Amino acid sequence: MGNHLIELKHIRKSFFGVDVLKDLNFSIEKGVSTSLIGENGCGKSTMIKIISGFYEFDYGEIVINGKKYHHLTPIEAMHEGIQVVYQDFSLFPNITVAENIMTNSLIADNRRGIPWKEMTQSAKKALERIGADIDTDILVSELSVAQKQLVAIARAIVMDAKLIIMDEPTSAITYKEIEILLKIVQELNAAGIAVLFVSHKLDEVKAVSKNVSVMRNGNIVYSGGIEGMTQEKMVFYMTGRELVSRTFIYERPNTEPVLQVKGLGLKNYYKDINFDVYEGEVVGITGLLGCGRSELAKSLFGLMPCDCGEIYMHGNAVQIRSVRDAMKSKIAYVPEDRLTEGLHLSSSISDNAIVCLMEKLSSRCGFLNKRKMVETYQEVLNRVSIAGMEYDKEVRMLSGGNQQKVLLLKWIATEPDLLILNCPTVGVDVGSKSDIHELVHKIAETGVSVVVISDDLPEIRQLCNRAYMMHDGMFCNEFKISETTSEEMEHFLTNNIKGREE
């Protein structure tokens, strides 16, 4: 066994005859951080659920602390010190921080009474171990996303965790909070607790891990030390192909801007916003969470109408008080949360792709023209390659990356002059991210103006020719990507924005 805390040997798992894990071998060392990376659908989530006892495996064995398991239950996994911090944290919003931290421990110990004083003291000690200053008496519903994450980690610690699995732990927290989390991971390792860090963000993988394992098509295709492992190598192992990263080359036409924004403001969110976007240009707006970038995007699409200022499309003043106003002005918006704001998950790919065109496809009496619908399906869906695409396939059956492509298609189909993308690749794997970036560039090359909202600086640099940095509701700098290095943008963010928050 050596220094291994857990070993998976020849694990196989299938669902309805489809192999998800194929003779998989994987191990985690004691007190060490290991990153697990791979594209969506490669089997990461299934493997995590097998380690935690949530799924039974069909073949193979798991060795934990030297003990062999051919069948592992959730309670056995917990007793072996395995804890999972899921993306939604699995906390109870209507009970206190202390109760959330201690409930699992009380259940595992089969305690009948609730020792309130002891529970509160234990919860405080767990939070202190990770340097979290959180009131244990308040309801979890009152906490920020980052605080909820710390509560979930503290809950794992009181369960005497030997391995904490963190599933996409930085997907919804700020740069500053990410730095705190990475420091906590190091402290957990120093205390002898192993961490399995599951993430799409390859820069964080390098920062937090000693070892990295890459999954592709239900198997581990690489396991080894992070030393010497470049992002390019990780991408190759994940996708099986070399992804070419190209910056966006743009030449401004001798025309007036497609979009002009003058003195735009919305109380408590942003103020005095001035910028323009030209035909075929891709302009980025970046900044930390809470800077006002998402609210600005929603105002341009009529979801959060502005209080003051002016918006011009092709030199003409427009009033954007609703989504219908925005669409009349040929503005389209791809929201950050595709699942709750962008797609009808139980509907087909084809119906999602043309849902914004239903009025055009209807007769005067309101009946849909089936022939026109089929023609439009084919025309719209042929614009983008979607793996395993079938017109009648439900969107919920697609990977996150392919769902995002459908969402893009939905708005491309409206033939907009301005396309606003709010965090267009959040939660998608590196291969789909590259495909989406290429699609955005192709859209811009047809003359559509694009505004990209993102806190991912590498994404901003790859997608855009210009970018505005936003802080505290205002634009604080403008960058021409071709004339600015990534180090300069990161330096500005670190010293001029992060510094102000501390």
Q: What is the CATH number of the domain that holds 390?
A: 3.40.50.300
Phi/psi at 357 (5° precision): -105, 10
Please indicate, yes or no, if residue 198 is contained in any of the structural domains. yes
Strand partners, 332: 419
Q: Answer whether residue 67 is part of any domain.
A: yes
Look at strands 259-266 and 418-422 and give their pairing: unpaired
Q: By the 8 A CB rule, do 226 and 197 touch?
A: no
Enter the tokens of residue 456: 């991912």
In a shared domain, residues 310 and 185: no
Q: Is the dihedral of CA 16, 20, 23, 27 positive or negative?
A: negative
Q: Reply yes or no on whether the pLDDT at 1 is more than 50.
A: no
Asked which of 92-106, 240-254, 308-322, 376-390 is least confident by mean pLDDT, the reply is 376-390
Same domain? 198 vs 299:
no
pLDDT score, position 2: 60
- What confidence tens digit (pLDDT) does each residue in 81-95 have? 999 988 777 888 898
Mean pLDDT of 223-243: 84
Sign (positive or negative) of CA dihedral 314, 317, 321, 322: negative
**Is residue 412 domain-resident?**
yes
Instruction: Give 421's pLDDT tier (boundaries 50, 70, 90).
Output: very high
Q: 17-56 burial, b for 16+ CB within 10 Å, e for fewer?
A: eeebbeebebbbbbbbbbbbbbbbbbbbbbbbbbbbbebe
Give mean pLDDT, residues 249-270: 92
Q: Is residue 252 part of a domain?
A: no
Q: Of 239, 267, 290, which residue sits at a domain end?
A: 239
Are 289 and 173 spatial neighbours (Cβ–Cβ below 8 Å)? yes
β-bridge pairing 67-69 and 59-64: antiparallel
Supply 19's token pair.
Answer: 């192999």
- Provide the token pair at 437: 């970036």
Question: In the chain, what percentage of residues exceed pLDDT 90?
Answer: 40
Is 246 inside a domain boundary?
Answer: no
Cβ proximity of 136 and 96 under 8 Å: yes
Dihedrals phi, psi of 313, to nearest 5 degrees: -120, 120
**Number of CB atoms found within 10 A of residue 190's CB:** 9
CA dihedral (175, 180, 183, 184) positive or negative: negative
Other beta carbons less than 10 A from residue 15's beta carbon: 10
Q: Which two tokens stand for residue 338?
A: 């595709």
- Is there a single domain that holds both residue 156 and residue 100? yes
Rounded Cα distance between 468 and 484, Å, is: 12
pLDDT tens figures, 18-35: 889 999 999 999 999 999
Instruction: Tell me if 251 is assigned to some domain.
Output: no
CA distance 449 to 258: 7
Asked whether residue 351 falls in the same domain as residue 263, the answer is yes
* CA distance linking residue 166 with residue 447, whole number of Å: 42
Q: Which of the listed residues 208, 239, 270 is the one where a domain comes to its end?
A: 239
In a domain, 247, yes or no: no
**Does 70 share its domain with 144?**
yes
Q: Are residues 372 and 476 in the same domain?
A: yes
Regarding whether 421 and 339 lie in a shared domain, the answer is yes
> Residue 80 pLDDT > 70, yes or no?
yes
Q: Return the sign of the alpha-carbon dihedral for residues 383, 387, 392, 395.
A: negative
Q: Indicate whether 389 and 427 sit together in one domain.
A: yes
Alpha-carbon gap, residue 19 to 13, rounded angstroms: 6
Amino acid letter, 209: S
Q: Residue 48 falls within a domain, yes or no?
A: yes
Please report, as a single letter, which amino acid is at residue 54: F
- For residues 228 and 270, state if they share a domain: no
Strands 194-198 and 163-167: parallel
- Helix, coil or strand: residue 385: coil
| Rama region for 220: left / alpha / beta (φ>0; ψ in -120 to 50; rest) | beta
Residues 69 and 146 in one domain: yes
Same domain, 216 and 263: no
Selection from 143-147, 308-312, 394-398 with the highest mean pLDDT: 308-312
Q: Name the band, by pLDDT with cuts 50, 70 and 90, for residue 436.
A: confident
Report residue 114's pLDDT band, with 50, 70 and 90 as the boundaries: low
Same domain membership, residue 303 and residue 173: no
- Residue at which a domain ends, from 239, 270, 300: 239
Residue 154: partners with Cβ closer than 8 Å, 6 or more residues away: 101, 123, 126, 127, 129, 130, 132
How much is the pLDDT for 362?
58
- What is the 3-class SS of 460-479, one letter each residue? HHHHCCEEEEEECCEEEEEE
First and final C-alpha spacing in the chain: 45
Tokens of 398: 């697609």
Q: How many domains does the chain have?
A: 2
Is residue 174 over pLDDT 80? no
Facing residues of 479 across strands?
A: 467
Give the chain's largest Cα–Cα span: 76
**Helices assigned H by DSSP within 223-348:** 231-239, 293-300, 323-328
pLDDT at 361: 55
**Cα(371)–Cα(349) distance, integer angstroms:** 17
pTM passes above 0.85:
no
Predicted pLDDT of residue 247: 73
Nearest alpha carbon to residue 197 among 318, 62, 32, 324 = 32
Which domain does 280 fall in, by range?
A: 259-501
